[in-house]
Amino acid sequence: MQDNSGKPFAFRTQGLTKVYGEGNAAVHALRGVDLEIPAGEIVVLLGPSGSGKSTLLNIIGGLDSATDGDVYFQDLCLSDLPDDKLTLYRRDHVGFVFQFYNLMPSLTAHENVELVTEIADDPLEPEEALALVGLAERADHFPAQLSGGEQQRVAIARAIAKQPTVLFCDEPTGALDSKTGKVVLKVLKDINEKLGATVLIVTHAANTAAMADRVIHFADGHIREVVENDAKRDPEDIEW
């Protein structure tokens, strides 16, 4: 599927709706989201707490299912997939980065990345993935021996080692100071350029929008505005 300029889509959603719970306790997290994300872009998703950003990320990342509506990854309709096929979609195409790294404390950086490379089809070598995030020298260190920013870079190395088509990042700089946050954002930009992965970043840090190709403003379960960024900036030059 392509947009008007012939660019293929990574994702497209139509009327995507998510309701948690039932009756009086029902929470309408997504209220009919129509979205198109061209392949290869860096997309930043902004919006107030509780507006549905993580819910959207989880559904297009195949971690959760919608109550109604459709979501396509390329030409594949995820809404129709049984659980085993959804697992394959995640395994083959999706990398996740979360706010709190989720590294295994008893494994070295190299071993944390290896957990993924052992089960992927065409993975990078762990050394290569760690080099891409600038941590080749720290491969034998355990998470407790690394700073927060370094741990997040190991988590990114782990997420990209399978050479994912899409990289989903939920508050990737949320636990970091601004200087370290910029280093992490620079790594995400490099991954987008070097591996061609579509990168989708959910964040409260509105200034992150400056590095995006496209900024999606979310409010109360729907898209308020989509802005294409013609003046994309390097993460180093973002003001905090």
Ligand X SMILES: Nc1ncnc2c1ncn2[C@@H]1O[C@H](COP(=O)(O)OP(=O)(O)OP(=O)(O)O)[C@@H](O)[C@H]1O
**Three-state DSSP state, 194:** helix
Please identify, using beta-carbon distances, which residue of 29 and 157 lies nearer to ligand X. Answer: 29
When asked if residue 23 is in the footprint of ligand X (CB under 6 A), the reply is no
- Nearest of 152, 153, 234, 159 to residue 195 by alpha carbon: 159
**Contact residue for ligand X among 20, 102, 137, 140 (CB under 6 A):** 20
- Nearest of 207, 224, 97, 201 to residue 154 by alpha carbon: 97
* Rounded CA separation 25/31 (Å): 16
Please identify, using beta-carbon distances, which residue of 19 and 136 lies nearer to ligand X. Answer: 19
**Contact residue for ligand X among 53, 110, 153, 158 (CB under 6 A):** 53
For residue 114, how many other CB atoms are within 10 A of its CB? 18
Please identify, using beta-carbon distances, which residue of 45 and 146 lies nearer to ligand X. Answer: 45
Judging by DSSP bridges, how do beta strands 27-38 and 9-20 pair with one another?
antiparallel
Please identify, using beta-carbon distances, which residue of 141 and 217 lies nearer to ligand X. Answer: 217
* Rounded CA separation 107/110 (Å): 8
Indicate the residue type of 41.
E
Cβ pair 63, 90 in contact under 8 A: yes
**Contact residue for ligand X among 10, 16, 29, 35 (CB under 6 A):** 29
Q: How many residues line the site for ligand X (CB under 6 A)?
A: 12
Please identify, using beta-carbon distances, which residue of 60 and 157 lies nearer to ligand X. Answer: 60
When asked if residue 5 is in the footprint of ligand X (CB under 6 A), the reply is no
When asked if residue 100 is in the footprint of ligand X (CB under 6 A), the reply is no
When asked if residue 27 is in the footprint of ligand X (CB under 6 A), the reply is yes
Report the interface residues with ligand X, using CB under 6 A. Answer: 20-21, 27, 29, 47, 49-55
